[in-house]
Amino acid sequence: MPDSGIDLCSQPTVSRWENAPSLRELIRLMGVLIDLYCASYPAPPKAVTLDIDDTLDVVHGHQQLSLFNAHYDERCFLPIHVYDTAKSRPVAVLLRPGKTRSGREVAAHLRRLVRRLRRHWPATRITLRGDSHDGRPEVMDFCEQNGIDFVLGLSGNAALARAVEVAADDIRTRRAFAQAPVVRGYAETAYQAKSRQLRIYGYLVKETPGWWPERGTLFPAVGAGIEVLLTPEDCEQEAAEAVALLDRFNESVVFASEPAALATASPETCKWCPYKLVDRF
């Protein structure tokens, strides 16, 4: 380190500072993040849809909470992220071990989240959207008991396969006759899971092995969608540009060269931030 300037704290000091907050203090910090999200609306919205999911956070060592995850073949954390789907705003982020979350765990996190949201928005209609990791009985019970609508993924099984077989066979047949690279369709059915009656919506796809979509449509939260190319070469180029931008940002933070310019939202610094890919051709 340079000899000039004030002394910097040592690594042990940083580690002690990182471990200083208690569990209760961390929960209170999460509440502040939710408060900031609610404050971003000038008035309570009539309805919001919250998307919950985990994300891979690879570690390089044996940090606390890090575990080996066979699905990702990595030692990692799997933090939970909750976002407002309409505004793409973060609602809550929770660091957690690198293992699949249980229904009981998710329900406990949702209880704290919804309790905090209701302080600000007592009458807002909340819809929860998640994948099959969140489609657990404990999560559905919590949503039903607290007036939360939910759209959750459900792991496939033989009963569901039989229920959509007519629609699936139609898609396979139409693809075979037309020799099309891909055919898509939807199916809807009722499903009884113990005492719970569910309405299941299935997205059915039959693709040629190795098929790659030529283009897709990106739809922003507000405004018309734009069409983008999705060839392997285009995707590789976009990924390379994203990596280069991240490297440039990291260098700017280390050397304090241009952090303000990169932190300002622009078409270059956040190329596809407001968009979500919802259709392919």
- Per-residue pLDDT band for 82 (boundaries 50, 70, 90) equals very high
pLDDT of residue 149: 92
Outline where 121-164 has alpha helix (H).
137-145, 158-163
128 and 182 housed in the same domain: no
The distance of Cα 105 from the centroid of its chain, to the nearest Å, equals: 17
| Residue 138 and residue 18 in one domain | yes
Backbone angles phi, psi at 5, to 5 degrees: 90, 175
- What does the pLDDT read at residue 107? 93
**Would residue 161 count as lying in a domain?**
yes
Radius of gyration of the chain (CA): 23
Same domain, 195 and 139: no
> 47-61 pLDDT, tens per residue?
999 999 988 888 887
Residue 5 Ramachandran class (φ > 0 left, ψ -120 to 50 alpha, else beta): left
Determine, yes or no, domain membership for 5: no
**Residue 97: is its pLDDT beyond 60?**
yes
**How many Cβ atoms from other residues are within 10 Å of residue 72's Cβ?**
12
Give the rounded percent of residues in the chain with a pLDDT score beyond 90. Answer: 25
Between 237 and 100, name the one with better pLDDT: 100
| 152 neighbors 200 (Cβ within 8 angstroms) | no
What pLDDT is stored for residue 275 in this prediction? 38
pLDDT at 153 over 60: yes
Q: How confident is the model at residue 270 (pLDDT cuts 50, 70, 90)?
A: very low
Residue 97 to residue 54: CA distance in whole angstroms = 11
Residue written as tokens 């993040």?
33
Last residue of a domain, one of 153, 175, 192: 153
Please list the residues that pair with 199 across neighbouring strands.
Answer: 190
Beta bridge partners of residue 154, listed in sequence order: none
What is the tens place of the pLDDT at every residue in 210-269?
766 666 666 655 566 667 666 667 767 777 777 777 667 666 655 555 545 544 544 454
CA distance 205 to 193: 25
Within 43-124, strands assigned E span 47-54, 57-58, 67-69, 74-77, 80-84, 89-94
Is 122 contained in some domain? Answer: yes
* Residue 218 and residue 203 share a domain: no
Q: Are 149 and 161 contained in the same domain?
A: no
**Boundaries of domain holding 173:** 156-208
Q: Could you tell me which residue, 114 or 243, shows the higher pLDDT?
A: 114
Tokens of 233: 């070469």
Could you report the per-residue pLDDT of 12-22, keeping only the tens digit for each? 787 788 778 88
Q: Which of 43-47, 94-98, 241-245 has the lowest mean pLDDT?
A: 241-245
pLDDT digits (tens, 9 = 90+) for 154-200: 888 888 888 888 888 888 898 888 888 888 888 888 888 777 888 88
3-state secondary structure of 176: helix
- Nearest one of 167, 115, 245 to 175, comparing CA atoms: 167
**Do 177 and 115 share a structural domain?**
no
- Chain position carrying tokens 């929960």: 27
Q: How far is CA 249 from the centre of its chain?
A: 23
Which of 108, 133, 153 delimits the end of a domain? 153
